[in-house]
Chain A
Amino acid sequence: MNLAVRDIKYGLGRFLLTSVGVGLLLTIVLSMSGIYRGLVTEALVLIRGVKADLWVVQRDTRGPFAEPSRLPEDVRYRIAIVPGVVEASPFVLYTIQRERQGKALRMAVVGYDLATGAGGPTRVVAGRGLGQKRFEMVADEKLGLALGESIQLGLHEYAVVGFTRGMVGSGGDPVAFFSLADAQEIQFVKDNWAVRNARERARAAYERSLPTQPTLPQTLARQFADNPDLHQVNAILVRLDPLADPAQVAAAIERWGHFTVFTSAQEADLMLMGNVDRARRQLGLFRGLLVIIATVIIALIVYTMTLDKLKAIALLKLIGAPNRTVVGLILQQSLALGLIAYAIAVTLGELTFDKWPRLVLVETQDRLLLLAVVIVVCALASVLGVRRALRVEAGAALTG
Chain B
Amino acid sequence: MNGSEAVSVDNLSKVYGRGHTAVTALRGARLAVNPGELVAVLGPSGSGKTTLLTAIAGIVEPSSGRVVISGTVLYDDGWRVPDLRRFRREHLGFIFQSHNLVSFLTALENVVLALDINGVRGAHAAAIAQELLDYLDVGERAHHLPEQLSGGEQQRVAIARALANGPAVILADEPTAALDTERGKSVMALFRRVAREKGSAVLCVTHDHRMTEGFDRVFHVKDGQVSSAVDARSHALAAPQLR
Contacts and interface: CB of A to CB of B under 8 A. Distances in A.
B221 to A, nearest CB: 16
A317 interface: yes
A398 B50 contact: yes
Contact of B173 (A10, A321, A322, A398): A398
Interface in B98-150: 98, 100, 102-105, 109, 112-114, 116-118, 121, 145
B24 interface: no
A315 B158 CA distance: 12
Contacts of B54: 395, 398
B75 to A, nearest CB: 16
B104 A7 contact: yes
A322 B117 CA distance: 8
A149 B62 CA distance: 92
Given A1-B121, A395-B54, A311 B100 contact: yes
Contacts of A9: 104
Most interface-central of A316, A319, A325, A400 (chain B CB within 10 A): A319
Interface string A370-400: 0000000000000000000000011101101
Nearest to A321: B117
B215 interface: no
Contact of A318 (B60, B88, B90): B88
A6 interface: yes
Q: Is the interface of A mostly helix, strand, loop or mixed?
A: helix
A322 B54 CA distance: 19
Contacts of B85: 317, 320-322, 394
A11 interface: yes
Interface string A141-169: 00000000000000000000000000000
Contact of A312 (B102, B109, B121): B102
Interface in A182-237: none
Contacts of B118: 320
A6 B108 CA distance: 13
A398 B96 contact: yes
B97 A320 contact: no
B94 interface: yes
Contacts of A321: 85, 89, 117
B86 interface: yes
Interface of B: 50, 54, 57, 59-60, 85-90, 94, 96-98, 100, 102-105, 109, 112-114, 116-118, 121, 145, 161, 173
* A-B CB proximity, top 9 nearest: A320-B89, A10-B104, A320-B88, A395-B59, A320-B85, A1-B116, A7-B104, A321-B117, A400-B98
Given A6-B109, A311-B100, A318-B59, 13 more contacts: A1-B116, A6-B105, A7-B104, A318-B94, A319-B94, A319-B113, A319-B117, A320-B87, A320-B118, A322-B117, A394-B59, A395-B60, A398-B173
